[in-house]
Amino acid sequence: MSNPFAGWVWNGGTIAFFLISLVVVFAAVMLLQFRKVMYMALSIGLVFLGMAGLYILLNADFLAFAQILIYAGAITILMLFAVMLTRHDEVEDPPLRDPKKWLTALGCLALGAAMLWTIRNTPWSSPPAQPPWPVQKNVAAIAETLFTGYAVPFELVSVLLTVALVGAVILARKEG
């Protein structure tokens, strides 16, 4: 049995990774465990915030702030709105009462085990000490790449957002 922590550099970033991933996995499990829909929506907000912390650990500052603004801000609040607009006193069935849920849980566990086994047995290159972009200029690097190499996808995404906006208005509009 080889040392599972071979090649790890123990510094603040590693400890922060462990703490944040603990919080994220805990909040994700609570999402499954809570029975009130309101609590579920709030616990996924915690997951999104933890993911933003992981992005900061990965030197992806802009992605982290976009995560906080879009996911933890907009999407969680939209979901809370949806909960309040529908039946917000609704409760889920207690977990794992139904035998079909056991089968689903087994399938998900098998998929997770297969993925973890693959990750464990793949030789990964050791992480470079410095990210390939200037650390303090993450936003500038993203902007430069986005508006030179990815200008066409950027425009297409703006078209997609417009279409989604119009589609959402048409779908949610009252008939007649």
Partner 1 sequence: MAPVGSFLALAAVLFCIGLYGALTKRNIIIVLLSVELMLNAANLNLAAFARMGIAPGIAGQIFGLFSMTVAAAEVAVGLAILIALYRNRNSTDVRDMDLMKW
Binding residue for partner 1 (CB under 8 A) from 19, 146, 151, 155? 146
Site for partner 1 contains 24 (CB under 8 A) = yes
Q: Are 50 and 23 a contacting pair, CB within 8 Å?
A: yes
Residues 48-87 that bind partner 1 (CB under 8 A): 48, 51, 54-55, 57-60, 62-63, 66-67, 70-71, 74-75, 78-79, 81-83, 85-87
Site for partner 1 contains 108 (CB under 8 A) = yes
Site for partner 1 contains 159 (CB under 8 A) = no
Residues near partner 1 (CB under 8 A), total: 90
Which residue lies nearer to partner 1 by CB, 1 or 124? 124
Site for partner 1 contains 151 (CB under 8 A) = no
Binding residue for partner 1 (CB under 8 A) from 2, 3, 126, 136? 126
The b/e string for 53-72 (b: 16+ C-beta within 10 A; e otherwise) is bbbbeebbbebbeebbeebb
- How many CA atoms lie within 13 Å of 159's alpha carbon, on the beta-carbon side? 6
The most distant pair of C-alpha atoms in the chain lies apart, rounded to whole Å, by 69
Work out the end-to-end distance of the chain between its first and last CA atoms, rounded to an integer number of angstroms.
Answer: 69
Distance between CA 169 and CA 38 in Å, rounded?
25
Site for partner 1 contains 41 (CB under 8 A) = yes
Site for partner 1 contains 90 (CB under 8 A) = yes
